[in-house]
Amino acid sequence: MAYHNKLYKQLSCRDFGADCDFTVRAKTEEEVLEYGYDHSCRAHAKCGSSPKTDERMRSLITNVWV
């Protein structure tokens, strides 16, 4: 039996509608956003944040036990 004892925030490119297998897990929403924007800029050439994008990303973040 597996035991899950740490709660993380998670967001994937697929959740955002991109055809990409990238998934980020981090302890806080801020970390998820930071890594998500970094990946978006490097892999998808979509750099920079906006309040609208922040709001959409935050709405797609899920909690996962690892």
* pTM reported for the whole predicted model: 0.84
Which residue has better confidence, 1 or 51? Answer: 51
Q: What is the pLDDT of residue 1?
A: 59
pLDDT mean over 14-30: 94
Chain centre to alpha carbon of residue 37: 9
User: Could you tell me the residue ranges of all domains in the chain?
Assistant: 7-65
Place of tokens 């509608």: 17
What percent of the chain lies above the pLDDT cut of 70? 95
